[in-house]
Structure 1
């Protein structure tokens, strides 16, 4: 793959890293962000913190994407070798049946599929009734508990959705698992890349947080380690430009620019910072769109409550089919998000941050 950024996106999304098991994604992010950072470290939960200093006495700016993706956890193996599991992160049962998964064992990876009944054995009534997640199981091709255990499977193993990174026929559209939120990690990398050999009046932290999908946990610990003056949670937003999604349910059109999140379940956007970002976008003719996500939150929800409080804003990339095996986003939205953040950071000197904070 000749395109360096596409290769980075492929490596990030193909990494298997559900909440609590972020090592693979952290190693990929470390590889790509290290050339543009002065220092790379982790907090004690495993969140990656890459530091790039412009002015050591200037404001501390945190740009955070989360390393983890949604998935499952093995809870038991039944006598016939089928796996029972716990969901990790938010799943809707209707997107799960008959989907492929990878089981991460101490002996290596195992292919599996979430089992389903063929329609031939279902009554008309049963076909209309969703299967409850607690009734689902995973088939790894084992004939007994003993055989499954011989494969290396044990309770506590991570289970990851399968979807290879794919450039679609319209090459601006990219399909993969784990856009939520390896695209945020890619943006954090590219923001530091965009600041290479650029004078900027602050210290920037490109962060890959852990365990966002289960409670914004890594954002709490990495935020505590950094104690930023300004925080940006970079994530996926709702791609609402598909059949069946109304304007009343969500906003978000692929290709229309980064989404400025006005409100979500974890945070109300900091008004002055939001206005500053929008003005910067207008000044540089960077497209953007507004959105609200009342049914979910981002790492900004934890970052803005760090210490005495941090002005924070969530900026997202509209993505179709989030919290499923396969998501689709638009490359221009990714690149315009990077462009916007780089221009914002160039303007965030000490006087500006003080004005935003105390206005």
Structure 2
């Protein structure tokens, strides 16, 4: 399964090479042009000489994680992180560096914690990674300062059409782009696999100046908060109700005529969809909106529970329906039946 292969890979911001090489091998026989920019984003063009509308697709390759910043005399590793709630860190298994050295994020046992420490999340400076080393010298034979640290999380299918994996944000988007490039559409299509989205949309800041499309579909794994204890308006998205269409977020205001066109295509093809009911967060769409002379963007996503954690959960039906929607919209937009 493509999404399993992608989520099994590690690709933290600035270290997306493993993901990029996999994608290259998947799409190289299906595109006319394939290149990597200086920051590391991968850009693929299909049917580059086709006339008519030029549609673009964007997703990001990087995932949340950690980086080693210190090795103490007893062989424990200190770290910094981005995009991760520190409350989830204790007891998590991780893989470190290119050799994927196994480690466990630890802290002192609850029996030894002060009463005030038990009532709040421990800060990162109170945590460490244990790789089983006895000394700094022994640890340095296995890992180095600056090594990237990814969560070790097995891909699992369970329950009612559910998948558990790490990095669904945004390997679901990468999978969608691969599928679109493998299609037999005759239209000019550009797919961008961005780096460093999780640290401030940095990859797309570059690629928004390199590509020139008439419209871009930005594909993400987004928040799904359909869980106990929340009121209906707080759920953001509901799993099983189809792909999510964005209206606004912290980086973009999506032009209504394009949103309406997407919903009309969904209705015409009986594809369930829903609106993303929050403006929190931001995506690479924010860079494309303002790139060059401005490019219209539609934000689409698969709703994911427990996002930015080792155990994000998605519904396979939402994934399948998003791919159907992208294909139907591409056919109607590039065939100039809409907009």
TM category (shorter chain) comes to over 0.9
Aligned-partner Cα distance in 1 for 2:260–2:178? 25
SS at match of 1:26: helix
Alignment of 1:24-173 (within 5 A): 24-53=18-47, 56-88=50-82, 90-105=83-98, 108-151=99-142, 153-170=143-160, 172-173=161-162
Aligned-partner Cα distance in 2 for 1:215–1:247? 30
**1:264–1:292 Cα contact (<8 Å) kept:** no
Q: What is the CA-CA distance between 1:10 and the residue it aligns to?
A: 1.4
Q: Which moved more, 1:263-272 or 1:130-139?
A: 130-139
User: Is residue 176 of structure 1 aligned with residue 165 of structure 2?
Assistant: yes
Q: Judging changes above 3 Å, is the alpha-carbon distance between structure 1 residues 333 and 263 closer, same or farther for their aligned structure 2 residues? A: same
Aligned-partner Cα distance in 1 for 2:127–2:52? 53
- The alignment yields a C-alpha RMSD, in angstroms, of 1.8
Q: After superposition, give the CA deviation of every residue in 1:116-151 in whole Å (9 maximum; x if it has no partner).
A: 222222344331122012322111111111111122
Q: After superposition, give the CA deviation of every residue in 1:207-266 in whole Å (9 maximum; x if it has no partner).
A: 211000011111122222112221111001111211233334342111110000111111
- 2:248 aligns to what? 263
Equivalent pairs, count: 339
Q: Which moved more, 1:330-339 or 1:217-226?
A: 217-226
- 2:202 aligns to what? 217
Q: Note the residue ranges of structure 1 that are not aligned, 5 or more in a row.
A: 1-5
> Please, what TM-score do these two structures have when normalized by structure 1?
0.90
Q: What is the CA-CA distance between 1:96 and the residue it aligns to?
A: 1.3
Aligned-partner Cα distance in 2 for 1:224–1:191? 22
Q: Note the residue ranges of structure 2 that are not aligned, 5 or more in a row.
A: none
The equivalent position to 2:333 in structure 1, one of 326, 335, 348, is 348
SS at match of 2:111: helix
- 1:280 aligns to what? 265
**2:50–2:186 Cα contact (<8 Å) kept:** no
Q: After superposition, give the CA deviation of every residue in 1:238-296 in whole Å (9 maximum; x if it has no partner).
A: 11211233334342111110000111111011111111111111111110000134221
Q: What is the CA-CA distance between 1:174 and the residue it aligns to?
A: 0.8
SS at match of 1:273: helix
- 1:3 aligns to what? none
Q: Judging changes above 3 Å, is the alpha-carbon distance between structure 1 residues 54 and 276 closer, same or farther for their aligned structure 2 residues? A: farther
Aligned-partner Cα distance in 1 for 2:125–2:54? 45
**1:250–1:293 Cα contact (<8 Å) kept:** no
Q: Judging changes above 3 Å, is the alpha-carbon distance between structure 1 residues 115 and 47 closer, same or farther for their aligned structure 2 residues? A: same
**1:54–1:199 Cα contact (<8 Å) kept:** no
Q: What is the CA-CA distance between 1:326 and the residue it aligns to?
A: 1.0
Q: Judging changes above 3 Å, is the alpha-carbon distance between structure 1 residues 215 and 103 closer, same or farther for their aligned structure 2 residues? A: same
Q: Which moved more, 1:43-52 or 1:274-283?
A: 43-52
**1:17–1:67 Cα contact (<8 Å) kept:** yes
Aligned-partner Cα distance in 2 for 1:328–1:68? 18
Q: Which moved more, 1:208-217 or 1:115-124?
A: 115-124
Q: Which moved more, 1:242-251 or 1:210-219?
A: 242-251
**2:54–2:334 Cα contact (<8 Å) kept:** no
Q: Judging changes above 3 Å, is the alpha-carbon distance between structure 1 residues 15 and 121 closer, same or farther for their aligned structure 2 residues? A: same
